[in-house]
Structure 1
């Protein structure tokens, strides 16, 4: 469950890669040119028009009324850093808002940072701060779309890869303590202490904390606010979906906990997020598949269950006695009356699904809607599909038109998806809470993206009526509910285009174009012969981390035809390529310099106040030269660059690959703004309405700290307790934290 190298490729479908369609594209263009087709005719070809080949279709779209025009970057780029602290440009400062373990109520003790706490995580800030957003509350206690003195900071808590920090002597199994869970060869070593398991389950999920300015004008969180609360790995959840298929959906969720399948428990590994136009929060369940366990000797229920689990990485192999990836949450001494531990055992000892937890994996992998203002039951929105969700970003809402939500599936060779609501947008639904969610997120169409050889693409609906789905031999779909619950198989069936780890998405408020980060890949997934237009590089990073394939990643963007949410076609290019500044022109395709080079883009977000595109990194390739970072970019528009050919070389193989790149940004339009402490990922960002404060999450500092052995921890990082400028909390074990960045002159951030 490494953050830098997540689960392996689980997509064994025969769907073509871009290299296959590009071979046809190259042939078509050359034949046209050799045949004497004029430039005027060439400009009408979507592939060339999108990449600056002429014609009106490559013109920059006019700004959407009411959105800001692009502004120049107004700070001096900072150098790379290996310091164990947050580094910012001159004129900027930061302070910690809250960190892992901070109490939300005064009735429990302040966090000790020694692993001594009992299971109080239902009222402590969770761990691995990730996607987040800010929600304003008006004087009547309702959601406000405009700035007020009261605000709620809502955020995801992704993983427990550092759970050894929560226990005094590290994690324990069968009397053995001091290791990370991933270092145990098998949890069959023995039972785990219940207290450890409860703490690990409950620090997952989502935190809601009221924030505001203190008497000195500094942002801080409010202890004992009526809005402070946690959603954890045990919180009750409602299962919702299209009315016509809801009964079938619930049949997939039947467990001994709820034999109707209408409810489930908990949310796990919430990574990127979304914010709805009506004012609710969307938590995205990403690497949820690795928490389940099957005792030695048990087998899958049936071939179809096995096929589903394999496609999602649940107990992937071996299926008899598999233990890989499990945290041992089902291995405790006591069988709790509510099966809080037993539910992680997904074998099938009962006669039916209503007598065991064989279906428990089916209850994870969704977009989870939460109303930050009203403390109610969160809802899993099945209509948006089940996969490794990484962000759910809404297109610019237009009155009288359906809403579109864009989602990535964060694994190698997975897909980009879009959900289009059946209901059309009505601004009177702002503040409508979960009722509005029922209106817009339960009825609609789910699509997967296919990128064509002409430089445009199409959205293919995932519907059981499609013969490619109803007749799919690899996985036999029973009904439309099955399509939604097994969306990865459905995307395989219709020929969605395999992409390279689609992570965060973001929508440019100036023109509605959609951006997605392709974080990185390895040599096995991206050899020279396996490159394609969307993933065009295959190379070796011969210094430092010595990684190969596409270790530095890139960012793709596309625009919908006519700019409407219901479009079933689009055009695309690659906005930026990550690279080391001295990597050579065939790798450093975006011409990065020492002031803006980066690797492994992950988090992505646009400021509504300034139009800046903020890029956050989660890097394991470039960390010999710099910790992870935050960069600011002036975005431009699809088609502002042109086609290029990449020369690849790796492991004795060489070849060329055509692709399409945006206009070079240079240091004037792309600058490094922040560098994180050691071992941390920079992820999650939002801003105050006036743009004078941005909130950024520093996740898992000290991630590579060795687990306890014979002696004490040897810390890779001790941030934030050791910060020279903003020390926070007890010194010792590192903690994920949210920081707020402001300008010393009180100005707008970044410009």
Structure 2
């Protein structure tokens, strides 16, 4: 500790040795020094306090001493704290009179925000540092006589670390978090988000989901608001959460499950199910004692459903491929569907991604005969086979209003009585889905915009590169199906910082997302890779596959609308179900979850360096050959340039049970504290707080079927290294019947207790999906999707979130997808 104050006491040395004050004796002061110490708290760590600076009495020039003694004061001594932790400075003063003021100021080190700096106790969040860094603070105390005492205190900040005890695997019906954290419940399926909408009964009788929270909450993102309701990217007390609603637990939306008399779905039931899909925008506020709630009557609240009007932009807008009876010029559409992962732009808008949309569409048994070979190839490549019934049977609904085509559009069957260009029926309706959709969360009057330059596929997410002035932007895109590809879009124009706070946010999206080049990834065995441009004129014909003939691309719109066919033609690397992408905010490295694969798609002799494993992880008596536990791959662009056409890569983590073969399966050395299966959601901490700086925290979420005999799905926190921190590795794969084959690959450094820990385990039969924090990192929002998905209305298999408070709930209480809100009890940055 460096205490520089000289503490003086009033004293007169005349002919008679007389002290005219009522101050303490020297013995009193010594006793105070050692009996009344205070603490400097850093999270849960306490550091002792000190008192008097360098001496008890400073100097002997008694003529200069004041008539009234200055206060004696103690303040925190030199101590240490980790980045992201709460540090509290406490001053205790002793005075005959009244203490009239306290003040704290920072003298050196990275600047921090001092909270309550005018009181006896102030605190701050320890800043991000790359090495041990001293911060010096000055505390001043004033008494009613105007006397001022100052003391300087040094706190040394250490680099951030994962500061929690790993959560054990479990199959409880609650969200389990580490000691020192608490869980609150945010908006749930069915919660009203408009004035006058009734509370949710949760018995299947509820309707009007266009003004309620949808089902299967997926990716989410926080958009800050200031006190006046304006955009504030740094606000952590008030904001909007934009969340996707991917799918439904159909059985719980109706009193006794869905009905289908004569194979025809009731209109009212189908409306519920359709409106439960899409996106929600909901305002949240932080209240007293860090309690969080959503604002039901906020003017920002909004639902975007499959019925919400949308517009198309980019090269495919107006294409013949997008024409329907609803939009005869191919520039407009209705809504968004099966929204999975997301993205966030540097200008304050949200990107929502249409993933497994293909399954919702019906095709008649003889439809191929009324289509061209090109159209049949397109439909087959996206999994919409002739004779497909369509999920949930929405196309069967006979609406009360014959002019209502919101159900008919899910039937792609060609109506031969209508024009051949598709403007009289919905033969091309499926082409209106599979896009990245931009939404302005701050302006509900602006229609969602589908960005066709980013390609059409089973979009899992769309995560942007770091915004660097003068550099082009990249958007990294996973196509979530086994054997599909990783894509990248690069804008034609370089980023300008002036666009970050533009008032017309959608216009900025037009600038960066409507013109550019879409690429597909090819991973080479030597740890390098190439981005192959999907540009008309350079993409060859797609070879014949099975009954599908050679496919010849006609224009750029054709390539973008049929990006999978273009990836085939270029020989891109087939991946083990590429899902979420995430970009390290410090070094720009790109991470991609490869959730899993099976032997039918990835046989023993079909592995490659980027998808190297084939093994069996039995689940009970059921064999699971292939890559059932998945892995996470990462890449670094050449020259750290988002627009580069080359990259290097390695496999950051291999999912596996800790009991599996460490040489060939559990290659990352996972233990009981951090083993996992089927990585899905992926997100780095925000760069506004210590979890997203220096060595950012990576959150990993699972959507697992292979390991659910052992544990519910989970979320882990990691602090990764960099591409190339491991090396080359050759593994031996095993197939059915005991056959083996070797495969060379590139692996990252093994996981350790310091670099990977299980932070959360979800309730029964859920998927953990969607994660973000407030900008200060002190509140974590996590999506809990489809708990109890295998239950029935009469016997739900989960009761979450009703079960969260006590671990149990009534036997017939239906589960609901919801947001879990997690905070650290001491107020620090989550995970650190």
TM-score by length of 1: 0.85
How many Å apart are 1:401 and its aligned residue?
1.3
Which of 1 and 2 has higher RCO (CA within 8 Å, sep 6+)? 1
Please, which of 549, 563, 566 is the counterpart of residue 643 of structure 2?
Answer: 566
Moved more, 664-673 or 121-130: 664-673
How many Å apart are 1:140 and its aligned residue?
5.3
Cα distance in 2, alignment partners of residues 471 and 462 from structure 1:
16
How has the CA–CA distance of structure 1 residues 726 and 275 changed in structure 2, closer, same or farther, with 3 Å as cutoff? farther
Cα distance in 2, alignment partners of residues 351 and 407 from structure 1:
35
Q: Output the aligned Cα RMSD.
A: 1.9
Give the aligned partner of residue 454 of structure 2: 384
Moved more, 665-674 or 67-76: 67-76
- 1:419-430 matched pairs, under 5 angstroms: 419-430=489-500
Cα distance in 2, alignment partners of residues 276 and 237 from structure 1:
19
Cα distance in 2, alignment partners of residues 647 and 470 from structure 1:
34
Please, which of 665, 677, 701 is the counterpart of residue 587 of structure 1?
Answer: 665
Give the aligned partner of residue 351 of structure 1: 419
SS in 2 for 1:338: coil
How many Å apart are 1:528 and its aligned residue?
1.7
Give the aligned partner of residue 717 of structure 1: 798
Give the aligned partner of residue 717 of structure 2: 632
Cα distance in 1, alignment partners of residues 251 and 823 from structure 2:
33
How many Å apart are 1:485 and its aligned residue?
0.6
Give the aligned partner of residue 322 of structure 1: 388
Give the aligned partner of residue 57 of structure 1: none
CA contact (8 A) 2:520 2:567 kept: yes
Give the aligned partner of residue 433 of structure 2: 364
Cα distance in 2, alignment partners of residues 517 and 529 from structure 1:
22
SS in 2 for 1:672: strand
How many Å apart are 1:723 and its aligned residue?
1.9
CA contact (8 A) 2:799 2:808 kept: no
Cα distance in 2, alignment partners of residues 109 and 450 from structure 1:
52
CA contact (8 A) 2:358 2:382 kept: yes
1:257 maps onto 2:344 in alignment: no
- What whole-Å deviation, never above 9, does each CA across 1:577-614 have from its counterpart, x for those lacking one? 01011112121111111111100000000002311111
CA contact (8 A) 1:463 1:469 kept: no
Please, which of 276, 284, 304 is the counterpart of residue 203 of structure 1?
Answer: 276
1:502 maps onto 2:578 in alignment: yes
Please, which of 238, 245, 248 is the counterpart of residue 311 of structure 2?
Answer: 238
Give the aligned partner of residue 465 of structure 1: 537
CA contact (8 A) 1:362 1:485 kept: yes
CA contact (8 A) 2:619 2:706 kept: no
Give the aligned partner of residue 786 of structure 2: 700
- 1:121-140 matched pairs, under 5 angstroms: 121-139=209-227
Give the aligned partner of residue 331 of structure 1: 396
How has the CA–CA distance of structure 1 residues 397 and 198 changed in structure 2, closer, same or farther, with 3 Å as cutoff? same
Cα distance in 2, alignment partners of residues 467 and 380 from structure 1:
24
Give the aligned partner of residue 677 of structure 2: 599
CA contact (8 A) 1:553 1:601 kept: yes
CA contact (8 A) 2:525 2:745 kept: no
Structure 1: gaps (5+ residues) = 1-65, 175-188
1:401 maps onto 2:479 in alignment: no
Give the aligned partner of residue 100 of structure 2: none
- 1:149-164 matched pairs, under 5 angstroms: 149-160=237-248, 162-164=249-251
SS in 2 for 1:468: coil
CA contact (8 A) 2:310 2:333 kept: yes
How has the CA–CA distance of structure 1 residues 167 and 259 changed in structure 2, closer, same or farther, with 3 Å as cutoff? same
How many Å apart are 1:471 and its aligned residue?
9.2
Cα distance in 2, alignment partners of residues 253 and 360 from structure 1:
7
Cα distance in 2, alignment partners of residues 232 and 438 from structure 1:
23
Give the aligned partner of residue 646 of structure 1: 731
Cα distance in 2, alignment partners of residues 394 and 721 from structure 1:
37
Give the aligned partner of residue 621 of structure 1: 706
CA contact (8 A) 1:559 1:571 kept: yes
- What whole-Å deviation, never above 9, does each CA across 1:352-386 have from its counterpart, x for those lacking one? 31110001000000000000001110000000000
Cα distance in 2, alignment partners of residues 100 and 246 from structure 1:
34
CA contact (8 A) 2:794 2:812 kept: no
- What whole-Å deviation, never above 9, does each CA across 1:680-724 have from its counterpart, x for those lacking one? 00010000111111100000000121x4xxxx5222111111223
CA contact (8 A) 2:174 2:807 kept: no
Cα distance in 2, alignment partners of residues 549 and 217 from structure 1:
46
1:289 maps onto 2:289 in alignment: no
TM-score by length of 2: 0.77
Cα distance in 1, alignment partners of residues 810 and 425 from structure 2:
43
Give the aligned partner of residue 44 of structure 1: none
- 1:432-451 matched pairs, under 5 angstroms: 432=502, 433-451=505-523
How many Å apart are 1:336 and its aligned residue?
3.7
CA contact (8 A) 1:546 1:621 kept: no
How many Å apart are 1:142 and its aligned residue?
3.6
1:226 maps onto 2:304 in alignment: no
CA contact (8 A) 2:466 2:585 kept: yes
Cα distance in 2, alignment partners of residues 569 and 331 from structure 1:
49
CA contact (8 A) 2:584 2:590 kept: yes
SS in 2 for 1:164: helix
CA contact (8 A) 2:236 2:776 kept: no
CA contact (8 A) 1:96 1:728 kept: no
Cα distance in 2, alignment partners of residues 396 and 278 from structure 1:
12
- What whole-Å deviation, never above 9, does each CA across 1:605-662 have from its counterpart, x for those lacking one? 0002311111000000111110000001111000000111111112121111111110
Please, which of 253, 274, 294 is the counterpart of residue 166 of structure 1?
Answer: 253
Cα distance in 2, alignment partners of residues 246 and 108 from structure 1:
37
How has the CA–CA distance of structure 1 residues 590 and 148 changed in structure 2, closer, same or farther, with 3 Å as cutoff? closer
Cα distance in 2, alignment partners of residues 238 and 431 from structure 1:
23
How many Å apart are 1:141 and its aligned residue?
4.0
SS in 1 for 2:644: coil
Cα distance in 2, alignment partners of residues 531 and 409 from structure 1:
19
- What whole-Å deviation, never above 9, does each CA across 1:284-314 have from its counterpart, x for those lacking one? 0000000111244444522111110100112
1:686 maps onto 2:756 in alignment: no
CA contact (8 A) 1:643 1:660 kept: yes
Cα distance in 1, alignment partners of residues 449 and 539 from structure 2:
31
Give the aligned partner of residue 613 of structure 2: 537
Give the aligned partner of residue 191 of structure 1: 264
How many Å apart are 1:733 and its aligned residue?
0.8
Cα distance in 2, alignment partners of residues 196 and 101 from structure 1:
15
How has the CA–CA distance of structure 1 residues 723 and 95 changed in structure 2, closer, same or farther, with 3 Å as cutoff? same
Give the aligned partner of residue 38 of structure 1: none
Give the aligned partner of residue 16 of structure 1: none
- 1:58-69 matched pairs, under 5 angstroms: 69=130
Cα distance in 2, alignment partners of residues 579 and 304 from structure 1:
42
How has the CA–CA distance of structure 1 residues 210 and 390 changed in structure 2, closer, same or farther, with 3 Å as cutoff? same
CA contact (8 A) 1:469 1:477 kept: yes
Structure 2: gaps (5+ residues) = 1-126, 131-158
SS in 2 for 1:414: coil
